[in-house]
Amino acid sequence: MKRFLLACIALITFSAQAQQWGSSETDSIRCFDNYNNFGSLCNSKEYLQAYEPWLMVYTTCPQASEVVYKFAPKIFDAKIKAEVDAAKKQALILDLMKMYDDWILYYPGNEAKILGQKANDYYDYHPDDSYTAFQMFNAALSVNPGDIQPLYLNNYFNAAIALYKVDTLDSEGLLNAYGAVGEAIEMQTNNWNREITALTEKDTLGTISSREKRVLDIDKRLLEQSNKLIGNIERGLAPLLTCDRLGLIYNQENFEKHADDASWLRRAEKMLSKERIDTAGTSDCTDNPIYYLVAQSLYDLEPSSQAARSMGVLSIKNEKYEDAIKYFTDAISQEVDPMRKSRDYLRLAAIHLKLGNLSAAKGDCANAVRANENSGDAYLMWANVYASAAGTCGNNVFEKNAVYWAAIDKASRAKQVDASLTGRADKLIAAFRKGIPDKSISFQFNYKEGDRYAIGCWINETVTVRF
């Protein structure tokens, strides 16, 4: 009965979908049978057994469904692993590569994803041919970097490292590969952050669907994986990221060659501005005279949050604080990553604090926390802003020094959200305690241990009196 029904379906659809289901009625019936067969086997994860019926469909009716191609990598993987003959194994790998080409031919629109998967499979099956894999990954990245999975990006960079070790790729080529990975991750991160923000809001409101909840969990997991990937890559690159080495690559001659190349400028800016930890502490390479030229050219050529941020950093170094405020405000308006946005607000807070605009600095700190509620650095900055108001907010010695309680509260909050800041927070708290009103002064103004006091001015915080 089942076969009769399939035959009827095949006959009905044959004239309209002859190309899709084969060149004859017989092919159509066979394709339907084998399509259902391999689909059922794949759903049961019996990929090796699925090979023969899948092959029949693939060779006879390659346009039957995109499902033919989506299952193919797992089917080939099972078949390749089961094959003991080296020549036959290699022939299967070649067939797998051709399958990816056919996938793009018959189902265009996701070329980057397919090419990325093809490159990754080639990398896995040809561990001694990093060069070809590297070129294949580059082809995928050139189509759409944002569509390349983090795992594939990791293998891409591993291939680059392998080529660098045998002098096939020079330092600039390796750094360009790192830049390509960083750009791909940034594109993906921006997309995930947008989706996470929107879905988190729906989750808070209780309007999120079960499907959207799964998407939210996946996005968060992918974001975490990407952050780990970049961290692992950077640790591997650390010996190459010295300012002296970068200076050999990012120099006047190379800048003049690439002055209109936005991609080269982005990577140069990222490399030179990247913070690194050495014996002298945390530093970057923005003292390189090329950095100003790179940053200015990038901002003029391709305005973006990063370009604006770079100009802000340069403005601070040149003590042009009003310009810095303008650039960091511009960076914040374009930024979608909440972590970067939080750090930019902190930069604004530091500028406003230096200029004595404490009210604005407080607002910047609050915005930094809104962007990243676990920013201990934001709370530490907030504490310093309050402490800077000592002696200016109030009408008497008690009121003017009560701000130290508010400063202690923020410093205490800093180590609560980020335990790594405990040492710094405790030092600040110890210093602030020296400034709080003592018992006798508090008593004079009718305040005792445990009382609540509302600080006015621009602070508008209520604190607990304690000694």
- C-alpha dihedral sign at 73, 45, 146, 133: negative
Q: Angle, to 10 degrees, between the axis of helix 262-273 and the axis of helix 171-205?
A: 80
Q: For residue 282, what pLDDT band results from cuts at 50, 70 and 90? A: low
Quote the pLDDT of residue 192. Answer: 86
Q: For residue 454, what pLDDT band results from cuts at 50, 70 and 90? A: very high
Quote the pLDDT of residue 22. Answer: 65
Buried b (16+ CB within 10 A) or exposed e, 334-347: ebebbebbbbbbbb
The answer to whether residues 55 and 78 touch, using CB atoms and an 8 Å cutoff, is no
Q: What is the mean pLDDT of residues 82-88?
A: 95
115-129, 171-185, 220-234, 333-347: range with lowest mean pLDDT:
220-234
**Containing H/E element for 452?**
strand 452-455
Q: Which two tokens stand for residue 292?
A: 């100003």
What's the chain's average pLDDT? 89
Per the model's pLDDT, the better-predicted residue between 238 and 186 turns out to be 186
281-283 vs 461-464, strand pairing mode: unpaired
Quote the pLDDT of residue 4. Answer: 34
The answer to whether residues 159 and 179 touch, using CB atoms and an 8 Å cutoff, is no
Quote the pLDDT of residue 424. Answer: 95
**Containing H/E element for 454?**
strand 452-455
Q: For residue 188, what pLDDT band results from cuts at 50, 70 and 90? A: confident
Predicted confidence (pLDDT) at residue 460 exceeds the cutoff of 50: yes
User: Who contacts 283 (Cβ-Cβ below 8 Å, separation ≥6)?
Assistant: 243, 275, 276
Per the model's pLDDT, the better-predicted residue between 382 and 183 turns out to be 382
Q: What is the mean pLDDT of residues 136-147?
A: 94
Q: For residue 225, what pLDDT band results from cuts at 50, 70 and 90? A: confident
Q: For residue 278, what pLDDT band results from cuts at 50, 70 and 90? A: low
Quote the pLDDT of residue 283. Answer: 74
Q: What is the pLDDT of residues 399-451, one digit of tens each?
A: 999 999 999 999 999 999 999 999 999 999 999 999 999 999 999 999 999 99
Predicted confidence (pLDDT) at residue 8 exceeds the cutoff of 50: no
Q: What is the mean pLDDT of residues 243-264?
A: 89
DSSP assignment of 269-332: HHHHH--EEETTEEE-STTSHHHHHHHHHHHHHS--HHHHHHHHHHHHHTT-HHHHHHHHHHHH
Q: For residue 226, what pLDDT band results from cuts at 50, 70 and 90? A: confident
Q: What is the mean pLDDT of residues 256-272?
A: 89
Per the model's pLDDT, the better-predicted residue between 211 and 280 turns out to be 211
Measure the CA–CA gap between 325 and 316, rounded to whole angstroms. 9
The answer to whether residues 258 and 265 touch, using CB atoms and an 8 Å cutoff, is yes
